[in-house]
Structure 1
């Protein structure tokens, strides 16, 4: 009986070792290698790098509040910063869990509506696109609608000494089409717009 149990335990341990190697090592290395070979940018976080400097990820929103830059969606995030071994400042960010039905969320929207109206007096007769005063499910969305981007065009032109035509061209250059051509709506990457406004991207 004891020998039978030992034999079964030995087989079970062997299977655990085999599947650990297959699923935990071989599979992981294969997927990592294939992704680095075929999709290196996406596999490394879709980072925007110019002249060796990383400015952020295409997939992670950054908060801009000054009038010379495009504003994204409300960001409800928790963040932690630290310095790595190379002396570079690093940040981890994750979405908060504020409820859309909470007083805190209502106050955030009211505050954002007031800020939007104050910064865009030339648009006072136009409705504010809803994504400029609400947050996404993650709270870290890097995109806004084309309407939300165009709503800010006059402010951006005025504060960057540019024409509306130039701003519209930047918005168009940073607009991503519908997924597979028909899912969802076109959207604008806010970080890319702001990097083009700063002359970092062309």
Structure 2
């Protein structure tokens, strides 16, 4: 007669293992797939309602854009944003600030295409803003970002456009500069990021000037 080994673990019935697995799957689905998203969505809507709904900008009750996505302003009377490399997903050509295909050119610093593009943008920026051939040009005004959707530009990039905007709107440069400086976003906590200007917000403020 064989003596049973009391130290040998008793095999767990397969039905019990399956039941435990199903319970764990259901529990984690409820917590991670339902409770957590609902909790974070509720907290976002209560604590940060504007940001939770896309930081939308409205005029006369109509949504005209978002503070998070740039728009392609080309008229002389408007502040212009950064270059954008976005294209339509159907391959129909460049569509600046097309949120359907956010991205960059992926040209490296040694790529001749990048160098040529920057040189062309520098020349164009100087020409349209009446700057001399040796005037410094803010780097963000001649380079595209990784997203292609930047809504902000540097303060220097905005101030470099004051003369053109003032002429197009028959305003004084001081009026335009004051409007720009009134919309400067400071560094977060005083140290994070750089001072910047939201292009759409400034253009709306310029349109409201008399």
SS of corresponding position for 2:87: strand
**Cα deviation digits, residues 17-71 of structure 1 (max 9, x gap):** 1110111111111111111111110001111112221111111121222211111
Residue of 137, 145, 148 corresponding to 1:136: 145
Structure 1 position 109, deviation (Å): 1.4
Q: Which residue of 2 aligns with 1:21?
A: 30
Q: Match for residue 57 of structure 1?
A: 66
Give me the whole-angstrom Cα distance separating, in 1, the residues matched to 2:89 and 2:159. 33
Looking at structure 1, the residues matched to 126 and 160 of structure 2 have their Cα atoms a distance apart, in angstroms, of: 11
Structure 2 unmatched runs, 5+: 1-9, 91-97
TM-score (norm 1): 0.85
Q: Show CA shifts across 1:75-94 (max 9, x none).
A: 1113459xxxxxxxx96341
1:175–1:186 Cα contact (<8 Å) kept: yes
Q: Which moved more, 1:135-144 or 1:37-46?
A: 135-144
Q: 2:199 aligns with which of 179, 184, 190?
A: 190
User: Structure 1: 5+ residue runs without aligned partners?
Assistant: 82-89
**CA–CA separation in structure 2 for the residues paired with 1:123 and 1:177:** 30
Please state if 1:103 is matched with 2:112.
Answer: yes
Among 174, 185, 195, the alignment partner of 2:183 is 174
Going from structure 1 to structure 2, the CA distance change for 1:79 and 1:2 (only over 3 Å counts) comes to: farther
Q: Which has the higher strand share?
A: 1
Distance in 2 (alpha carbons) for counterparts of 1:173 and 1:126? 25
How big is the shift at 1:197?
Answer: 2.0
Shift, 1:123, TM fit = 4.7
Question: Match of 1:48?
Answer: 57
Larger-Rg structure: 2
Contact 2:152 2:196 in 1 (8 A): yes
**Corresponding residue pairs, total:** 193
Alpha-carbon distance between aligned partners in 2 of 1:26 and 1:108, rounded to the nearest angstrom: 49
